[in-house]
Amino acid sequence: MKLHLRARRPAAPDVAPSLSVYNFSFRRACLLTRVWQALVVVSAAGWLYGCGVQGPPRPPRLERPERITNLSVVQVGQALEVHFSVPQQTSYGERLTKPLEVEILRGVAPPGAGVSKLPEPEVWMRLIRNEWLPYAQGGEVSYSAHLTEQEFRTWRGQTLVLAVRTLTRGFRHRALESDPSNWVDVPIFDVSEPVGGVAGVTTEKALEVRFAPPAKMLSGQPLHDLAGYRIYRSNTGARGSFEMIGETTAPPYRDRQFEFSRTCYYRVRAVFGEPGHWAMSDDSQLAKITPRDTFPPAAPQGLTGIYAAGGVELVWTANLESDLAGYNVYRLENPPPQRLNKELLRTPIFRDTNAEPGKTLTYYVTAVDLAGNESQPSEKVEVETE
């Protein structure tokens, strides 16, 4: 018996699955490759498009402040009060966005030569933003630049010339300076010590601000060359809120624009110098004053009375006080006088409907203001009730 041996062929079902898996894996790899290539192309196109929009790199924006043109300076005690408007734009008209620094420039005019031969000014003070900002209000800066004792003694009787300029910081902290402001010449005067004893006395028509003249100058000399006093008032007492309301050559000063029961704050400065170059003493101590209305209206005038239709008609001339609240009517039948109206009368007329017939009755009227002050009685009038 012969045995015929054959090589066994793998079954078809076993071969087909492995080829299918291979083909699927190959197709998935090709698909992922194409997706990756597409993403690279899109990203490159976006980058090229973005570069096209932005253009070439631009240098940092330069912000050179515009020039200040309204500098004013006044001597107050041993300091120079510098006032100017803060620039809002660059020298080429664009809005400033960087922090501003302020430089105060100072020169000393040679004696007898005036300001025409002023030497090159130097930077006297440099203020970063946090140093000048507390003195700014509404875009205006009022900064007190103090002279040392040595500077005050040396320059008393001489003329200083001041200007200010502002600057921002650019690339590598480089300063971008404005042109100097207008120049202001400031003669340095010997001024007095502060005024003392400021207080208020209320009158019916004005609040009198009283104070004591200073006794001597800052140099120690007796008081001399005093030109007068300036009076300042504020509704809050806060720094920067005081406004000059008037001048006087001697105390007291009468403030006629006051209001009863409204608290105000006052301070006084002594004035020296000459027209165009005034200098002042330091501020006096603050005086807080609340004027109280203790002044009654005038007694009503022209009271007349007549008995008619079972009652007494009373008429009088109206008072002219601006703070008048009304009137009271009194009848003198038995002491004490009897007030006939329950509420203040708004008009100068009243009818007494409780007048008994067959009697002689006596009446008078008073005026009352908004503070509750009652006037003296008017002249009395007698009315016969028939």
* CATH number of the CATH domain containing 139: 2.60.40.10
Are 100 and 173 in the same domain? Answer: yes
What secondary structure, in 3-state letters, does 185-251 show?
A: EEECCCCECCCEEEEEEECCCCEEEEEECCCEECCCCECCCCCEEEEEEECCCCCCCCEEEEEECCC
Are 308 and 375 in the same domain? Answer: yes
Domain boundary among the residues 142, 164, 187 is at 187
Cβ-contact 290, 337 below 8 angstroms? no
What pLDDT tens digit does each residue of the chain (386 aa) get?
Answer: 444 444 444 444 444 444 344 444 445 545 555 655 655 555 555 544 455 455 555 555 689 999 999 999 999 999 999 999 999 999 989 999 999 999 999 988 876 555 555 667 899 999 999 999 999 988 999 999 999 999 999 999 999 999 999 999 988 889 999 999 999 999 999 999 999 999 999 999 999 999 999 999 999 999 999 999 999 999 999 988 999 999 999 999 999 999 999 999 999 999 999 888 999 999 999 999 999 999 999 999 999 999 998 899 999 999 999 999 999 999 998 788 999 999 999 999 999 999 989 999 999 999 999 999 999 999 999 999 97
Are 207 and 285 in the same domain? Answer: yes
Domain boundary among the residues 170, 187, 204 is at 187
Structure tokens at 54: 């932005």
Domain that holds residue 234: 196-289
Cβ-contact 359, 334 below 8 angstroms? no
**Is 348 inside any structural domain?**
yes
The CA–CA distances, whole Å, from 189 to 17, 75, 140, 264 equal 111, 8, 26, 31
H and E: helices and strands count for the chain: 3, 24
Are 83 and 174 in the same domain? Answer: yes
Number of separate domains in the chain? 3
Are 259 and 326 in the same domain? Answer: no
Domain boundary among the residues 239, 256, 289 is at 289
Are 282 and 373 in the same domain? Answer: no
Are 182 and 77 in the same domain? Answer: yes
**Is 54 inside any structural domain?**
no
**Is 247 inside any structural domain?**
yes
Are 109 and 183 in the same domain? Answer: yes
Classify each residue of 181-197 as buried b or exposed e, where b means 16 or more C-beta atoms within 10 Å of its C-beta: beebbbbbbbbbbbbee
Cβ-contact 278, 227 below 8 angstroms? yes
**Is 315 inside any structural domain?**
yes
**Is 37 inside any structural domain?**
no
**Is 58 inside any structural domain?**
no
